[in-house]
Amino acid sequence: MASHYPWTPVDALGEALHAVRMEGVFYVSSELREPWSLQMPPFEDCVSFHAVISGSCGIEVPGASPVELRPGDFLLVAHGLGHRMFSALPAPFTERVDLVPHEQVSEHYHQLRYGGSGALCTMMCGIVSFGHPLAREVLDLLPPLVHISGVERVANGRMQTTLDMLAAEAREPSPGGEAVITRLADILIVQTIRWWIASEPGDGRGIVAALKDPQIGRAILAVHRDPGKRWTVAALADCAAMSRSAFSERFTRLVGTTAMRYVSRLRMQHAIAGLKGGDTRSLAQMALDLGYGSEAAFNRAFKSMVGVAPGSLRRSARERHEMTAS
């Protein structure tokens, strides 16, 4: 289970951002003419994004005030939340975006033309998932909406450059353009998360604060690199070059849980991802790889934390996959 890196990072938060690697579920280049209204369904463990190339639109998440997007704006909708996108001119009904006919350009990239005959809004939208547990911990801290406005975009020269490149590719499609567009969109997501981390003062606690702490950050990275190691508080304190008592106090204060509970939670996250993702290892082998002495001990810990047995979760995941594929 250990991860091997060809370098020794000096920045724990930087490595966390390095772990923010996306698996594209759906990217779509849209041309939307007033009046129109589309509903984006919820997607578990995913982030949605919208980059407006021209025109304007509104985005509404239940429980939050609508957000107006203008050219150059970029919006993240976190936590897999469903939401509505709409034109300034009201539409007679709202249609689910996944039920509207799309032109499929490649496996994950589509083009959409929808609406009436009024003003045009062109957008790049997508849904991406994140498999790495450390990335997902950072993403869990995001507010429901992270909006980068034109003013903030101009102030951030790197994001300005990326958005300009995305807009150019969307306006003038060329061979391989979908590959360039999807990669630029992924870069924008990381840039947005980095912008939010830098601009959010927070309360000095949570995984971001812990990763920023030079000593606690080292211990957290050590666990993420090798979750199956027989970790103890003493071993983690050694990673942080701290006494056991000082390490325990600071870790709990920053992260909000004890070090060993954090280790257990991380192991369960790896197990859940594997069981849902088609990991072919036996439960006995998975137990050993995650640092449990036996399959029985792993089963007890998993059921206590997750609420179901690991074998049951694996069977349910297989059944859902078979139903989707049929």
Q: Are residues 253 and 298 in the same domain?
A: yes
Question: Which comes out higher in pLDDT, residue 182 or 24?
Answer: 182
In 179-264, the DSSP E strands lie at none
What are the residues whose beta carbons fall under 8 Å from the beta carbon of 261, sequence distance 6 or more? none
Whether the Cβ atoms of residue 292 and residue 230 lie closer than 8 Å to each other: no
One domain, residues 20 and 75? yes
Q: How confident is the model at residue 6 (pLDDT cuts 50, 70, 90)?
A: very low
CA–CA gap between residue 326 and residue 322 (Å, rounded):
6
Q: What is the mean pLDDT of the chain?
A: 85
What the block records as the tokens of 162 is 């990326």
pLDDT for residue 94 is more than 50: yes
The CATH number covering residue 280 comes to 1.10.10.60
**Within-domain flag for 241:** yes
For the chain, helix (H) and strand (E) counts, in that order, are 13, 12
Query: Which is more confident, 62 or 199?
Result: 62
Residues 173 and 44 in one domain: yes
User: Out of 49-58, 143-152, 258-267, which region has the weakest mean confidence (pLDDT)?
Assistant: 143-152
pTM of the model: 0.75
CATH number at residue 132: 2.60.120.280
47 domain-assigned: yes
97 has pLDDT over 60: yes
Q: 131 lies in a domain?
A: yes
Q: What pLDDT, on a 0 to 100 scale, did the predictor assign at position 141?
A: 81
Whether the pLDDT of residue 140 is over 70: the answer is: yes
So what's the pLDDT on residue 7?
Answer: 45
Residue 24: the pLDDT is: 64
- Structurally, the chain folds into a number of domains equal to 2
Asked whether the predicted pLDDT for residue 121 surpasses 70, the reply is yes
Q: Is the confidence at residue 286, as pLDDT, over 70?
A: yes
Same domain, yes or no, for 265 and 127? no
The confidence score (pLDDT) of residue 173 equals 67
Residue 5 lies in a domain: no
Co-location of 316 and 250 in the same domain = yes
Same domain for 188 and 250?
A: no
Tens-digit pLDDT profile for residues 61-73: 988 889 999 988 9
**Residue-level pLDDT at 55:** 95
- Does one domain contain both 224 and 155? no
Tell me how far CA of residue 250 lies from CA of 13, 138, 213, 244, 245, in angstroms: 17, 19, 10, 10, 9
Higher pLDDT, 119 or 177: 119
The HSE-up count of residue 277 (CA atoms within 13 Å, CB side) is 14
Q: What is the pLDDT of residue 21?
A: 64
Which of 199, 224, 256 lies at the terminal end of a domain, its last residue? 199
Residues 275, 148 share a domain: no
Q: Which of 195, 197, 196, 204 is nearest to 255 (CA)?
A: 204
83 and 155 share one domain: yes
> Which of 153, 172, 199 is the last residue in one of the domains?
199
Domain final residue pick, 134, 164, 199 = 199
C-alpha torsion 113→117→119→122, nearest 10: 10
Is the pLDDT reported for residue 29 higher than 70?
yes
Q: What is the DSSP string of 118-163?
A: S-EEEEEEEEEEE--HHHHHHHHTS-SEEEE-HHHHHHSHHHHHHH
Beta bridge partners of residue 54, listed in sequence order: 122
How many CA within 13 A on the CB side of residue 74?
Answer: 27
Print the domain residue range for 230. 207-325
Is residue 169 located within the same domain as residue 301? no
pLDDT tens digits for range 230-263: 999 999 999 999 999 999 999 999 999 999 999 9
pLDDT in the model for residue 201: 59
CA dist 255 and 245 (Å) reads 15
- Exposure letters 229-251 (e unless 16+ CB within 10 A, then b): eebebeebbebbebebeebbebb
Return the pLDDT at 2.
47
Query: Given this model, what pLDDT does residue 320 score?
Result: 78
Q: Rounded mean pLDDT of 170-184?
A: 77
